[in-house]
Amino acid sequence: MEKYFQILKHWGAGNYNARPINGESAEELKNRIELFLEEITQRPESKILVCTHGRTLRAMMCIILNIPISRMEDIQQRNTGLYKCRYSHGNWELLETNNLTHIHSMAKVYV
């Protein structure tokens, strides 16, 4: 776990080329997400669900919000937290942040 936090420290300081052993750097992650976002903006569907890991989601929100990926830790994200975005005319708009209401509504079903 120590090595993981060291990598996050490097990324937070702007060293996007630091990488875990056999893992990708923040720069590579950023590039991969930018390509993915470009691909989904070209799709004909009006709604697309993206499910991913927390670190990828944090980096994606940085890109969508146009903030440096060194600020990934500023993005609040809980397991199953829902982010809702809209893409229109070349711009992203964040509509919902880390929404967990689906968890609370499901808990009522099982109580």
Using DSSP, state whether 53 is helix, strand or coil: coil
Using DSSP, state whether 41 is helix, strand or coil: helix
Bin 22: left if φ > 0, else alpha if -120 < ψ < 50, else beta.
left
Read off the pLDDT band of 35 (50, 70, 90).
Answer: very high
Residue with tokens 């090595």: 3
User: With DSSP H G I counted as helix, E B as strand and the rest as coil, what are the percentages for the chain, rounded to 5?
Assistant: 50, 15, 35
Q: Is the pLDDT of residue 66 over 90?
A: yes
CATH number of the domain where residue 81 is located? 3.40.50.1240
Q: Region 42-69: what's the mean pLDDT? A: 95
Which residues constitute the domain of residue 66? 2-110
Q: Is the pLDDT of residue 6 over 60?
A: yes
Q: Is the pLDDT of residue 106 over 70?
A: no
The residue that leads in pLDDT, 85 or 110, is 85
Using DSSP, state whether 34 is helix, strand or coil: helix
* Element containing residue 85 per DSSP (H, E): strand 82-88
Read off the pLDDT band of 109 (50, 70, 90).
Answer: low
pLDDT, position 58: 95
How many domains does the chain contain in total? 1
pLDDT, position 24: 94
pTM: 0.86
